[in-house]
Structure 1
Amino acid sequence: MGASIEVRRFETPDERLDMKAAGGISIIKMQDGSAGMQAVFEPGWSWEKDEKPLLGSPDSCPVSHTGYCVSGELVVQMVDTGSETHITKGDFFEIPPGHHAHVEGAERVELILFAAPDGPH
């Protein structure tokens, strides 16, 4: 038996982290355990205000993120060092755990995130 191709769409996610008017994250889990996520954050969104309460209010985001920025500008701050990185359209990135983030400016941020089969989902 040959391998088959699996195709999924963010319009029909397995899970959705709904942040109401601030945006949300659609999560697709593939058969091999890997995951893809589409994150949409509206202007004014911040991890502290909009996502932290949905995760049980940890001190900082406990998850690493590998992804691609489709639109907008996301400012990510590492909590331990205070260093800030601006992620903009066209950037492929790896963000370690222990960060906060917010949308910069008036443009919506859209990210596509990837998680390996054994990684966080």
Structure 2
Amino acid sequence: MTMGIETRRFDAPDDRIDMKDAGGISIVKMAHGNTGMHAIFEPGWTWEKDEKPLLGFPDSCPMHHTGYCISGKLIVRMIEADQVTSISPGDFFEIPPGHDAYVEGSERVELILFAPPEHSHTN
């Protein structure tokens, strides 16, 4: 038996992380467990200020992210290595755990993030 094609929309998410004026993340979960996320981070957003409290105040982001940048400029820092990377429109990226990040400039950052079933998470 073959499964049919499944479509989901971020404007009708399964879950949403609301970061108030700083933005938010809409989360959709597919039948086989894959997760897609649409993240919007407004100018001034920082992981430290806006997302860390929602995750229980870990030292750094514990999640692995695979995604695509639609707009804005996100600066990501690997904390232990003190390696800084700029992610901008058109970049397909993979970020390991152990990072923090912030929006650079006055344009909102818009990302699409993907997670396979065994790594599904809220960001």
TM-score (normalizing by structure 1): 0.98
| Alignment-derived partner of residue 9 in structure 1 | 9
Q: How far off is 1:2 after superposition?
A: 3.3
| Alignment-derived partner of residue 91 in structure 1 | 91
* Aligned equivalents of 1:107, 1:4: Cα separation in 2: 38
* Aligned equivalents of 2:3, 2:82: Cα separation in 1: 46
- Aligned CA RMSD, in angstroms, stands at 0.7
Asked if the contact 1:77/1:99 (under 8 Å) is kept, the reply is yes
Query: Residue 32 in 1 paired to residue 18 in 2?
Result: no
Matches within 5 A, 1:1-121: 1-121=1-121
Q: Secondary structure of the residue that 1:53 maps to in structure 2? A: helix
Q: Secondary structure of the residue that 2:119 maps to in structure 1? A: coil
For residue 5 of structure 1, what is the amino acid of its counterpart? I
For residue 44 of structure 2, what is the amino acid of its counterpart? G
* Aligned equivalents of 1:95, 1:80: Cα separation in 2: 14
Unaligned segments of structure 2, at least 5 residues = none
TM-score (normalizing by structure 2): 0.96
For residue 83 of structure 2, what is the amino acid of its counterpart? S
* Aligned equivalents of 2:42, 2:84: Cα separation in 1: 20
* Aligned equivalents of 1:10, 1:78: Cα separation in 2: 29
Q: Secondary structure of the residue that 1:118 maps to in structure 2? A: helix
Q: How far off is 1:120 after superposition?
A: 3.0
Unaligned segments of structure 1, at least 5 residues = none
For residue 112 of structure 1, what is the amino acid of its counterpart? I
